[in-house]
Amino acid sequence: MAHHAHPLVISAYRVGIAAVVLLPLALWRCREEIAILSKGEWRALILSGIFLAIHFAFWISSLFYTSVASSVVIADTIPIWTAFLAPIITHDKVSRKACLGIGVAFMGGIVISLGDFSVGKTALWGDSLALIGAWAATLYFLCGRIARRRVSLLTYASLCYSVAAVCLWGVILFKKLPVAGFSLPTWGAFLGMGLIPQILGHSSYNWALRYVNPSAVSVALLGEPVGSSILAFLLWKEKITLLTLAGGILILLGIFIVAHHSGRK
């Protein structure tokens, strides 16, 4: 009989499927690079994978306790934390105009979510989980920036996702959570998350980390509500409200400002 998947199981299948696809390819094409990775590069890779696992575990869990709007807006703080920590951890300078762009994009995320926030003790717990997930994602991006300066995308993505999968599946086995018996649509969702948002989406971010300030990479996350609204309109004819339109314009303007001024003093 089908049942709902636990947030940890959802997270584990997402990164696990990505790892199963990418790791054999990396072992085939990048064996020599993997063999000569330094201790510092391994440290950055492993920490990145651990933080990715924490991000998914806490952020996906938050969706079970608070509204999507509240969770997404808290996740939208990732560029703010990244801009604050990047000069300290990765020594990437963030210009004032880039900070302005981050603020504009963040306000756009809030505008899109107006009227759909949750309140109450359960929502507060969910918001706390989302905040921990945002902090973990920030450290994931910063560790990725360090690793990607010298490590190829395929090597980095395959090993990072594999570390995240090992962490999540280890917790699942320890807690003895159910990992089977789901409906066919649920299995399809697992596969879709692993192949599209993870391999294509996150790998695109990780590709950019080699060339772009991590603050600029993380602010691109704020474009997700815009893309999801467009897809919802095209696929399910969901109405695009004035708030969504206004918020989307602010987000795109903010992303443009950050992209234009990233790396400039």
In a domain, 2, yes or no: no
Do 1 and 182 contact (CB within 8 A), yes or no?
no
Both structure tokens of 3: 């049942």
**Helices 121-148 and 68-75: crossing angle, nearest 10°?**
30
What pLDDT does residue 212 have? 83
Q: What is the pLDDT of residue 165?
A: 97
Q: How many helices (H) and strands (E) does the chain have?
A: 13, 0
User: Which residue range forms the structural domain that includes residue 13?
Assistant: 7-261
Residue 67 lies in a domain: yes
Q: What single DSSP character describes residue 30?
A: S
Res 227: pLDDT: 66
Residue 204 lies in a domain: yes
Q: Is residue 229 part of a domain?
A: yes
Sequential pLDDT tens for the chain (265 residues)? 335 788 899 999 999 999 999 999 999 999 999 999 999 999 999 999 999 999 999 988 888 887 766 777 777 788 888 888 988 898 888 888 888 888 888 888 777 766 555 556 677 788 888 889 999 999 999 999 999 999 999 999 999 999 999 999 999 999 999 999 898 989 999 999 999 989 998 899 899 899 888 888 887 777 666 666 676 667 666 666 777 778 778 888 888 888 776 654 4
pLDDT, residue 113, reads: 67
- Residue 145 pLDDT: 94
Q: What is the pLDDT of residue 265?
A: 40
Please list, in sequence order, all residues whose beta carbon lies within 8 angstroms of the beta carbon of residue 78, skipping any fewer than 6 positions away. 134, 137, 138, 141, 218, 221
> What pLDDT shows up at residue 169?
97
Q: Classify residue 143: in a domain, yes or no.
A: yes
Per-residue pLDDT at 2: 39
| 104 domain-assigned | yes
Q: Domain tally for the chain? A: 1
Residue 114 belongs to some domain of the structure: yes
Say what the pLDDT of residue 162 is: 97
Q: What pLDDT, on the 0 to 100 scale, is given for residue 147?
A: 94
Which of 218, 216, 227 lies closest to 262, judged by CA? 216
pTM over 0.75: yes
HSE-up of 200 (CA within 13 Å, CB side)? 6
1 occurs within a structural domain: no
**Cα–Cα distance measured from residue 30 to residue 151, given in angstroms and rounded to the nearest whole number:** 10
Give the integer Cα–Cα distance in Å for 160 and 44. Answer: 9
